[in-house]
Amino acid sequence: MDLDKKQATRQSAGEKLTSLGEKNSNIVVLDADLAGATKSNIFAKKFPDRFFDMGIAEQDMIATAAGLATCKKIPFACSFAVFATGRAYDQIRNSVCYPKLNVKIVGSHAGVTVGEDGGTHQMLEDINLMKGLPNMIVFSPADDLETKWAIGEMARLDGPAYIRTCRLKTPIVYDENQKFEFGKAIQIGNGTDATIFATGVTVAESIIAKENLEKQGINIRVIDIHTIKPIDEDMIIKCAKETKHLISVEDHNIIGGLGSIIADVLSEKYPAKLVKMGIKDEFGKSGKAEELLKNYEIDNTAIEKKVKDLI
């Protein structure tokens, strides 16, 4: 991991959409008056005829994307995660997932790391909303390369898909040799003292915690869950068997997020205790992203402390 090189996953998504657009003329992009922030404007500049700014009208954006999908287009509908999944939930449910249309939803600015915009804009329930929909695939990538891979997978796979990206610039976790596989989590390290299941911005935080713990003789592993649905059950069970403690950490409500999904798997397949770190069923608030990660105890310091408390 390169701590000094950072990029926001929203930027990676915008760049990848544009390179996909060069190869495939069926790729079209929609936005709802946030193209500059979601970075769909990179695509818009290059392919103005295949970009549709729907104005502040997310319901119509998703419905229009559904219509385009019926005509063999591959629409990517972009907005902040809070609006893309919240305002248009009914259209995603009834017009996209129910008919299993090939619509891709890009929810940027997920989690408290939105920062200053505060609780109204910090989406902490999107994983919960999207994972509960039949036919929906859910990605939550951790860095630049992983986001670009996930956007490519969304275009490749037929059917509804959601990706959660972030505003905050986060460390580059992977180099170009890293292999990504749909539905297969990535194991970082072989420690057996504890497993940290992480997703999105908490992956880098977990890796920092892992490195700090190693210096103190505590060996853990980090599992990057880039595909939230379908979840990698085998990896969860393997870690439950091999490590002493299980922790999940996410920039999302602990109700209905990554931790809940892992707990679902454990309770049915391999009962084990899971400690869930995340936003404890409350809304976000305005502040600097780094301060908020600390405040909500999902930064590397909090993760390190949690591991030590458990051991």
Partner 1 sequence: MAIASKLDGRGYKVYCIVGDGEIEEGQIWEAMMTSVKYKLDNLCLIIDNNNLQIDGTVSEVKGALYPLKEKITAFGFETFEVDGHNIDEIIMTLQKVKQVKGKPSAIIAKTIKGKGVSFMENEVSWHGKAPNQEEYELAIKELNEMGE
Q: Which residues bind partner 1 (CB under 8 A)?
A: 28, 49-50, 52, 54-55, 57, 59-60, 63-64, 67-68, 70-73, 91
- Residue 67 or 86: the one with the smaller Cβ distance to partner 1 is 67
Distance CA 257, CA 129 (A): 9
- Residue 47 or 182: the one with the smaller Cβ distance to partner 1 is 47
Distance CA 66, CA 61 (A): 9
Give me the residue label for tokens 């408390």: 309
- Residue 54 or 133: the one with the smaller Cβ distance to partner 1 is 54
Give me the residue label for tokens 């297969």: 184
Smallest gap, in angstroms, from Cβ of residue 60 to partner 1? 4
Distance CA 168, CA 187 (A): 24
- Residue 22 or 116: the one with the smaller Cβ distance to partner 1 is 22
Contact 9, 143 (CB under 8 A): yes
- Other beta carbons within 10 Å of 176: 5
Smallest gap, in angstroms, from Cβ of residue 137 to partner 1? 23
Contact 38, 14 (CB under 8 A): yes
The conformation of residue 281, written as its DSSP 8-state character, comes to S
Smallest gap, in angstroms, from Cβ of residue 16 to partner 1? 22
Contact 63, 110 (CB under 8 A): no
Amino acid at 118: G
Q: Strand 246-253 and strand 194-198: pairing?
A: parallel
Smallest gap, in angstroms, from Cβ of residue 68 to partner 1? 5
Marked catalytic residue, from 58, 125, 146, 205:
58
Distance CA 139, CA 227 (A): 5
58 catalytic, yes or no? yes
Smallest gap, in angstroms, from Cβ of residue 52 to partner 1? 7
- Residue 4 or 71: the one with the smaller Cβ distance to partner 1 is 71
Q: How far is CA 47 from CA 28, 30, 44, 253, in A?
A: 9, 12, 5, 37
Catalytically annotated residues: 58
